[in-house]
Amino acid sequence: MEIIKVKDYEEMSEKAFSLMRAVLDDNKHPVLGLATGSTPLGLYGKMKRFYEEGFSYKHCITFNLDEYLGLPEGHPQSYRHYMYENLFNSTDFQGDNIHIPDSTGDPETICNMYEHSLDSNRIDLQILGLGGNGHIAFNEPGTPFDSLTHVVDLTEQTREDNSRFFERKEDVPTQAITMGIGSILKAKKIVVMASGAAKADAVYGMLEGPVSTDCPASALRNHPDVVLIVDEEAASKL
């Protein structure tokens, strides 16, 4: 694993963008694995600026990691809404090339179809953030490393962490669809970003703890091409 230590969130986002640019330059039809949350917002800002400067994303295919179950369509906290708000509406990604787990149909069928699409479009670059407990996507501690796209029950900790985006904690959904750890490991290249003291334990577990399902991010040590971009605060326990 390559580890890039940076000063802060801004420098982390810049580094991630330079790795993203290399993948955009090297591939005719880049397949991008995208995340939501606070971590990739800086990167998405830079991707939007790149579009304003003349780059077109029309030829790019995207897959999002996860989506809540049980939110009404168009809900402002759905990950679909987040992606349109923070990236797709201000760029020219094409609707047909955008894949986000559908939260409205039969979850089992949706999971199987999603994994099938992933197999037909291998991800060139997967962007990941880290949960405070080391989760990646919605794969919580205990998730098998060979798991594929599946329905998860969200832990109390994750619901608590995400409640800042909802009016009340009770409004945070209890389930989600997520790419599995095995689905994520199929990507050709993975870039993990970690910023801030709240991520220090997860970064420690990912790099220096045992490779174990207790820390889902430790599975990334089994992948041949992972880059971790970590800022000073997130690296403080190494």
Site residues (vs ligand F6R, CB under 6 A): 35-39, 65-66, 129-131, 135-138
177 beta partners:
67, 151
Tokens 């990167």 -> residue: 43
Clarify whether 124 is annotated catalytic.
Answer: no
* Secondary structure of 99-124 as H, E, C letters: ECCCCCCCHHHHHHHHHHHHHHCCCC
Question: What is residue 74's DSSP assignment?
Answer: T
Q: For residues 57 and 63, which CB has a smaller minimum distance to ligand F6R in the complex? A: 63
* Backbone torsions φ then ψ of 179, nearest 5 degrees: -60, 145
CB of 59 to ligand F6R, least distance (A): 24
CB of 196 to ligand F6R, least distance (A): 8
CB of 136 to ligand F6R, least distance (A): 6
Q: For residues 130 and 148, which CB has a smaller minimum distance to ligand F6R in the complex? A: 130
CB of 25 to ligand F6R, least distance (A): 25
Clarify whether 225 is annotated catalytic.
Answer: no
Clarify whether 75 is annotated catalytic.
Answer: no
* Backbone torsions φ then ψ of 160, nearest 5 degrees: -65, -50
Clarify whether 140 is annotated catalytic.
Answer: yes
d(CA 128, CA 126): 6
The dihedral region occupied by 92, where left means phi > 0, alpha psi between -120 and 50, and beta the remainder, is alpha
Q: Which residue stretches of 9-155 are H helix?
A: 9-26, 41-52, 79-86, 107-120
Q: For residues 38 and 89, which CB has a smaller minimum distance to ligand F6R in the complex? A: 38
Catalytic residue among 64, 133, 139, 162: 133
Q: For residues 48 and 59, which CB has a smaller minimum distance to ligand F6R in the complex? A: 48
Q: List residues with catalytic annotation.
A: 66, 133, 135, 140
